[in-house]
């Protein structure tokens, strides 16, 4: 068991309003979860918000208790970095995508492997549909295989599970990774974003490309992360162009844009308040000074509506690769290149922020 | 489109058939443009300036001996020998024409070199070469011949051009809100802004992509903005927008410098030598800013223009010419080996037609207000001849004061901005000669006989990291001691009794600072920790000796006060990859606003000319400041009220817009409820917890009702 509490590393909320420039500090003790040996890649809460799944470049996705960071167990079987995971609505099934060219279905409780989907290349992202009968899996390009989006039917009984894809979608530029694909409202669409900086909406019925983001307003560099609202109405994308953008999921209208100073690797939206969180940081190889502040490894909070920065949570010693809000909106966790998961429970000050 | 229709209508009316008209056949009579100005004027000029016949590498050597056929080869041999030393002659590059009748040479020849530079060099070096008593070479560039031949025989009186009233170049000073301007360069863009501190944002004045090819610079009084281009430099200014006022042709110009009264512009270009052992070629031109006329040019190798050490390949140290203080722009000086050349601008020639010989001089410095030159000569002969600091009056070249200094390793001279004091930082060797320690020699220029006072720090061994005079004041600040936490001391040239003694005001211990930035009005200073200190800023009031604020602009590389001392800009330029941009602070350390710009290269406040108010008047205003400030405070309040009103309005609009989205999402979510339920195999619950709970309550009610029915039936 490796769980420890560290010295209060503050959650700093500064208000930079027009006239007075005051600093409002709230102290909260993050729980530092040290279970991975390699950089974190993805974090996912279950619907009830009591379990937290973490994926990292080591080969074992890990399950934690979301309220105190106790490690419940690991899912052993992958043979490469695990990029992404999703958990079914009833918290019984877990799906993971890995660089070992497989996506695996797991029994959450027992940790048993139920099924393995084999691909010719790394499985970059996974997402269960509404109803958990379908899963969308994106694969990278590799050795002449172009990157693609696969839709698999998930059988009720693992015995009946088949490997065949229901639908395969090819991105126009097969040489660019598709970093994330998620289901749209009522499973009618799939929304994808990746290295070509374009967001695409696909029809799941016909496999046709319905919409793609406008070059003018869209991202200028690789899209690294995509997170959707609980009601599938809108979604947030983070990009290396140092912005995050909020889109309407049905019309692909750009609603908001948040600008920060570092490439964005991870984004999350608060289910409770009108807050969005951006995580990222200068790529470790381009950090020029020894000062950890230089890299800006901070989770930045923005007001969703006003697009203004509210504050930031420091603590990681490397770029933030993963962010997730607890569905109750009262805590969030961040995973970094430094191999740590930091679990933050907000204190009352957070809920009284006025800007 | 409307215009074309109008034209058609008109032509129909006049009975003109456009199809029969050949537009190319229409020509304006020469000399009359009917008021239509050619829009390719700029192109035309640029072409002219780059006009090149391609014969730039050919020279013409005249005044050669006229020789018969027999001696032809011998002469050719001699010429080849001479010119091969000066450059590489192309194969068959020497052509000496021969009179076809007499078979005698004509007394001149053409020599083609590999490069124009070699030709230029050969021309300069061999012009006036004495082959023998009667044959002195006259050498010209081939290209120059055309020009020289084209000189008209008759003199034509220059046409008087009609007077065009110029724009008010000082209009920016009459800004109603008394704001200052600043120029920034980021990416390809150069932008000029008003610093609107009330609105907490900069207001754009002018923006141009690719305005300059290297950097921009304000003239010392702020009238002009100079840009650098391949063809030369240009100055911009004007009443409302920036228009080009003048161009100065100097191809591949690298650096520019204005005289302090902005009458003259000095441009610099250096050419790397073809042979790495040679020094760079340097060309410097002095222009009259207003007329654009070149007043003088200087050419030579970098060694001739470098001060102290050799110029080498890198070129000379800038500025080569140092301008004497004051607005008159009367003198400028150049330092070279063992000589100081002082020129005056009336004739652009040396004062008294000769340079001053000062053996081994390494540094010169003008007083900012008077024509007094301070110079430093280091120790000679292994310490037998002491080092010397001297003050020389120009143009009389009289030595006003000098001081000999012993066991000196280095000296640096700092003039106070109103020319009242000169501080000389002297680094001396300790007895063992293994280390150095520093002290100051303070000259009081305006007092009789120029008394000198020696100042040593409390701890003699402290290293001096920075020194700065208070502008127009009598105080100075010194950062001394060891990194990373040096001390900062303040001294005054006056004591409390107002006697002429230097006194220490205070020492601040262990500060994170390595640079000093006085406000241009004095009194306030920023102790800045740049580079290694990551941009620590301490805003300090020297009158009260108290810290007003401390702040940090992380990674800040540059700090510049606005010319009025009200605001100060800190910037992170593109030496860092991250966080490029600038921040504006008030003089007392309040953050006013912050602008982020990728690839941020340069920020410069537009200087203001000195105030016309007398010192007494300024003092009076300072005394009655309350009276004046009332009006401005009221204005400030109005603006801030308006701002918060606008801000509220904007927030309300944003909220409304967001609410609209949320409403739309909610209704759509509601519409799709059934479909979603089907997808979830009939599971009723939706994501919203409260909705879930509400149904539970209904269900309980239902149970109650059924129970009652059961009871009744019983």
Q: Which residues of chain A have pLDDT under 70?
A: 1-28, 283-296, 355
Asked if A18's CB is within 8 angstroms of B647's CB, the reply is yes
* CA separation for the pair B400, A301 (Å, rounded): 66
Chain A residues in contact with B554 (beta carbon < 8 A): 293-294
Burial of B192 (0-12, 13-18, 19+ CB in 10 A): buried
Give the pair of three-digit tokens for residue B352: 């008294």
pLDDT tens sequence across B238-265: 887 888 899 999 988 988 999 988 899 9
* CA separation for the pair B575, B580 (Å, rounded): 9
Asked if B679's CB is within 8 angstroms of A131's CB, the reply is yes
* CA separation for the pair B360, B378 (Å, rounded): 7
pLDDT for the residue numbered B701: 44
**Cα–chain-centroid distance for residue B240?**
22
Full 3-state SS string of B541-584: ECCCCEEEEEEECCCCCEEEECCCCCEEEEEECCCCCCCCEEEE
Provide mean pLDDT across the span B395-417: 89
* CA separation for the pair B550, B558 (Å, rounded): 17
Cross-strand bridge partners of residue B421: B444
Task: Search chain A and give the residue with CA nearest B660.
Answer: A255
* CA separation for the pair A342, A322 (Å, rounded): 10
Chain A residues in contact with B643 (beta carbon < 8 A): 18
Strand B89-95, strand B567-572: pairing? unpaired
Provide mean pLDDT across the span B599-625: 88
pLDDT tens sequence across B514-555: 999 999 988 999 999 987 788 889 999 999 999 999 998 888
Residue with tokens 């800009």: B569
Provide mean pLDDT across the span B665-672: 90
Using pLDDT thresholds of 50, 70 and 90, give the confidence band for residue B709. low
User: Does position B19 have pLDDT exceeding 80, yes or no?
Assistant: no
* Packed helices B615-623 and B625-671: angle between N→C axes, nearest 10 degrees: 60
Pick from A130, A234, A305: which is nearest to B680 by CB?
A130
Chain A residues in contact with B672 (beta carbon < 8 A): 185-186
pLDDT for the residue numbered B104: 86
User: Does position B106 have pLDDT exceeding 70, yes or no?
Assistant: yes
Residue with tokens 């010989």: B357
Burial of A210 (0-12, 13-18, 19+ CB in 10 A): middle
- Please tell me which of A296-310, B276-290, B694-708 the model is most confident about, judged by mean pLDDT: A296-310
The CA angle B582-B586-B587, to the nearest 5 degrees, is 115
Asked if B665's CB is within 8 angstroms of A234's CB, the reply is yes
Residue with tokens 């930045």: A300
Asked if A130's CB is within 8 angstroms of B676's CB, the reply is yes
Chain A residues in contact with B555 (beta carbon < 8 A): 289, 294
Q: Where is average pLDDT lowest: B266-270, B509-513, B529-533?
A: B529-533
Residue B21 DSSP SS3: coil
Of the two residues B302 and B258, the one the predictor is more confident about is B258
Of the two residues B158 and A96, the one the predictor is more confident about is A96
Considering chain B, what percentage of its residues have pLDDT values greater than 70?
86
pLDDT tens sequence across B78-96: 888 888 888 888 888 888 8
Backbone angles phi, psi at B405, to 5 degrees: -130, 140
* CA separation for the pair A245, B58 (Å, rounded): 64
**Interface size between A and B, measured as CB pairs under 8 A:** 65
Task: Search chain B and give the residue with CA nearest A307.
Answer: B654
Of the two residues B625 and A87, the one the predictor is more confident about is A87
Q: What is the DSSP string of A264-294?
A: EEEEEE-SSSSEEEEEE-S-GGG--SS-GGG
Backbone angles phi, psi at A18, to 5 degrees: -50, -55
Residue B320 DSSP SS3: coil
Asked if A234's CB is within 8 angstroms of B661's CB, the reply is yes
Which strand (E) or helix (H) includes residue A260? none
* CA separation for the pair B108, B66 (Å, rounded): 8
How many CB atoms within 10 Å of residue A167? 18
Task: Tell me A242's DSSP state.
Answer: S
Of the two residues B295 and B54, the one the predictor is more confident about is B295
* CA separation for the pair B524, B517 (Å, rounded): 9
CB within 8 Å of B363: residues ≥ 6 apart: B307, B308, B335, B375, B376, B411, B412, B413
Of the two residues A296 and B272, the one the predictor is more confident about is B272
Residue with tokens 């911009």: B236
* CA separation for the pair B500, B498 (Å, rounded): 6
- B198 close to B582: Cβ distance less than 8 angstroms: no
How many CB atoms within 10 Å of residue A177? 21
Provide mean pLDDT across the span B7-13: 62
Pick from A186, A255, A288: which is nearest to B675 by CB?
A186
Give rounded-to-5 percent helix, strand, coil for chain B.
25, 35, 40
- Give the gap in angstroms from C-alpha A180 to the nearest C-alpha of chain B: 23
Q: Where is average pLDDT lowest: A279-293, B446-460, B463-477?
A: A279-293
Cis peptide before B318 (omega within 30 of 0): no
- B247 close to B256: Cβ distance less than 8 angstroms: no
pLDDT for the residue numbered B24: 58
pLDDT tens sequence across B196-215: 888 888 999 999 999 999 99
Task: Search chain B and give the residue with CA nearest A132.
Answer: B680
CB within 8 Å of B9: residues ≥ 6 apart: none
- B264 close to B329: Cβ distance less than 8 angstroms: yes
Strand A254-259, strand A82-87: pairing? unpaired
- B184 close to B558: Cβ distance less than 8 angstroms: no
pLDDT for the residue numbered A152: 93
* CA separation for the pair B482, A329 (Å, rounded): 51
- A355 close to A15: Cβ distance less than 8 angstroms: yes
Provide mean pLDDT across the span B443-449: 89
Provide mean pLDDT across the span B189-201: 89
- B565 close to B524: Cβ distance less than 8 angstroms: yes
Task: Search chain B and give the residue with CA nearest A259.
Answer: B596
Give the pair of three-digit tokens for residue B639: 């603006």
Interface of B with A (CB under 8 A): 200, 534, 554-555, 576-579, 590-591, 596, 640, 643-644, 647, 651, 654-655, 658, 661, 665, 668-669, 672, 675-676, 679-681, 687
The edge-to-edge listing of strands for the beta sheet with A40-45 is: A40-45, A51-56, A62-65, A71-74
Pick from B577, B596, B647: which is nearest to A286 by CB?
B577
Chain A residues in contact with B679 (beta carbon < 8 A): 129-131, 133, 186-187
Q: What is the DSSP string of B469-532?
A: EPTTSSEEEEEES-TTS-EEEEEESS-TT--S--EEEEEE-S---SEEEE-TTSSEEEEEE-GG
* CA separation for the pair A188, A52 (Å, rounded): 28
């Amino acid at each position: 068991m490796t769980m420890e509490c560290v010295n209060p590393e503050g959650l700093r909320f500064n208000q930079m309003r027009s006239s007075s420039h005051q600093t409002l500090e709230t102290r909260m003790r993050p729980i530092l979860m040290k279970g991975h040996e390699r950089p974190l890649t993805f974090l996912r809460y279950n619907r009830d918000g009591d379990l937290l799944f973490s994926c990292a470049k080591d080969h074992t996705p890990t399950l934690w208790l979301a309220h105190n960071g106790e490690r419940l167990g690991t899912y052993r079987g992958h043979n490469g970095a695990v990029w992404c995971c999703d958990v079914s609505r009833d918290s019984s099934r877990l799906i993971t995508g890995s660089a070992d060219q497989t996506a695996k279905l797991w029994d959450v409780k027992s940790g048993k492997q139920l099924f393995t989907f084999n691909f010719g290349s790394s499985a970059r992202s996974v997402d269960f549909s509404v109803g958990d009968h379908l899963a969308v899996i994106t694969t990278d390009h590799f050795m002449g295989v172009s990157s693609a989006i696969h839709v698999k039917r998930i059988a009720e009984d693992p015995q009946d599970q088949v490997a065949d894809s229901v639908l395969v979608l090819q991105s126009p530029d097969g040489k660019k990774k598709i970093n994330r694909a998620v289901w749209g409202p009522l499973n009618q669409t799939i929304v994808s974003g990746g290295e070509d900086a374009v967001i695409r909406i696909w029809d799941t019925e016909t496999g046709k490309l319905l919409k793609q983001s406008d070059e003018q307003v869209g991202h200028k560099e690789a899209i690294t992360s995509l997170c959707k609202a609980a009601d599938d109405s809108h979604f947030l994308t983070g990009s290396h162009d140092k912005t995050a953008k909020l889109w309407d999921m049905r019309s692909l209208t750009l609603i908001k844009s948040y600008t920060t100073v570092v490439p964005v690797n991870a984004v999350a939206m608060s289910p409770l308040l009108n807050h969005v969180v951006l995580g990222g940081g200068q790529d470790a190889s381009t950090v020029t000074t020894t000062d950890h502040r230089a890299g800006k490894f901070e989770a930045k909070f923005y007001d969703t509506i006003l697009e203004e920065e509210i504050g930031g949570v420091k603590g990681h010693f490397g770029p933030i690769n993963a962010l997730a809000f607890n569905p109750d909106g009262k805590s969030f966790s961040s995973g970094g290149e430094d191999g740590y998961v930091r679990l933050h429970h907000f204190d009352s000050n957070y809920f009284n922020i006025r800007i | 489109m409307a215009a074309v229709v109008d034209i058609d209508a008109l032509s129909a009316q006049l009975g003109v058939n456009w199809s029969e008209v050949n537009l190319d056949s229409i020509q304006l009579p020469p000399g009359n443009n009917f008021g239509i100005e050619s829009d390719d004027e700029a192109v035309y000029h640029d072409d002219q300036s780059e006009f090149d016949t391609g014969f730039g590498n050919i020279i013409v050597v005249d005044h050669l001996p006229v020789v018969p056929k027999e001696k032809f080869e011998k002469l050719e041999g001699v010429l080849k020998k001479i010119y091969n030393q000066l450059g590489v002659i192309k194969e068959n590059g020497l052509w000496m024409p021969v009179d076809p009748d007499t078979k005698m040479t004509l007394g001149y020849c053409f020599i083609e070199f590999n490069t124009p530079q070699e030709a230029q060099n050969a021309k300069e070096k061999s012009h006036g070469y004495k082959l023998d008593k009667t044959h002195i070479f006259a050498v010209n560039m081939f290209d120059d011949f055309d020009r020289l031949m084209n000189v008209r025989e008759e003199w034509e009186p220059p046409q008087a051009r009609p007077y065009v009233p110029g724009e008010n170049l000082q209009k920016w000073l009459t800004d109603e809100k008394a704001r200052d301007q600043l120029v920034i360069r980021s990416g390809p863009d150069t932008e000029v802004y008003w610093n609107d501190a009330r609105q907490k944002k900069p207001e754009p004045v002018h923006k141009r992509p690719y305005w300059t090819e290297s950097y921009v610079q304000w003239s010392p009084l702020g009238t002009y903005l100079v840009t650098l281009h391949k063809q030369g430099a240009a100055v911009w200014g004007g009443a409302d927008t920036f228009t080009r006022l003048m161009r100065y042709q100097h191809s591949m110009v690298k650096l520019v410098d204005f005289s302090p009264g902005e009458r003259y512009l000095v441009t610099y270009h250096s050419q790397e030598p073809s042979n790495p052992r040679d020094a760079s070629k340097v060309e410097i031109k002095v222009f009259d800013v207003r007329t654009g006329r070149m007043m003088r040019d200087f050419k030579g190798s970098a060694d001739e223009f470098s001060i102290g050490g050799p110029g080498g390949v890198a070129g000379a140290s800038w500025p080569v010419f140092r301008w004497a203080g004051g607005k008159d722009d009367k003198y400028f000086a150049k330092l070279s080996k063992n000589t100081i050349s002082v020129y005056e601008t009336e004739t652009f020639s040396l004062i008294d037609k000769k340079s001053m010989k000062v053996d081994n001089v390494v540094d010169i410095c003008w007083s900012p207000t008077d024509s007094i030159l301070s110079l430093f000569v280091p120790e000679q002969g292994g310490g037998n001849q002491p080092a010397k600091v001297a003050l020389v009056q120009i143009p009389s070249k009289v030595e006003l004061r000098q001081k000999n200094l012993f066991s000196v390793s280095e000296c640096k001279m700092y003039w106070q901005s109103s020319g009242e004091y000169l501080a000389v930082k002297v680094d001396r060797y300790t007895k063992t000669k293994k280390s150095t320690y520093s002290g100051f020699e303070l000259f009081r220029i305006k007092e009789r006989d120029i008394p000198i006072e020696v100042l040593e720090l409390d701890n003699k061994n402290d290293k001096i990291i920075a020194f700065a005079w208070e502008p127009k004041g009598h105080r100075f600040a010194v950062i001394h001691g060891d990194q990373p936490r040096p001390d900062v001391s303040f001294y005054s040239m006056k004591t409390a009794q107002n006697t002429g003694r230097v006194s220490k005001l205070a020492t601040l211990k262990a500060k994170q600072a390595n640079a000093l930035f006085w406000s241009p009005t004095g009194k306030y200073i920023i102790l800045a920790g740049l580079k290694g200190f990551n941009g620590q800023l301490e805003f300090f009031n020297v009158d009260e000796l108290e810290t007003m604020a401390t702040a940090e602009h992380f990674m800040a590389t540059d700090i510049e006060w606005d010319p009025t001392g009200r605001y100060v800009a800190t910037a992170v330029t593109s030496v860092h990859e991250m966080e490029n941009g600038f921040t504006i602070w008030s003089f007392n350390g309040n953050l006013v606003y912050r602008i982020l710009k990728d690839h941020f290269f340069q920020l410069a406040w537009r200087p203001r000319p000195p105030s016309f108010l007398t010192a007494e008047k300024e003092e009076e205003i300072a005394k009655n400041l309350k009276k004046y400030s009332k009006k401005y405070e009221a204005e400030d309040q109005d603006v801030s009220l308006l701002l918060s009103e606008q801000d509220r309005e904007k927030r309300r609009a944003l909220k409304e817009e967001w609410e609209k989205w949320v409403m739309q999402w909610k209704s759509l979510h509601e519409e799709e409820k059934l479909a979603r339920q089907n997808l979830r195999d009939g599971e009723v619950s939706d994501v919203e917890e409260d909705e879930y709970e509400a149904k539970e309550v209904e269900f309980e009610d239902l149970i109650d009702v059924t129970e009652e029915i059961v009871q009744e039936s019983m």
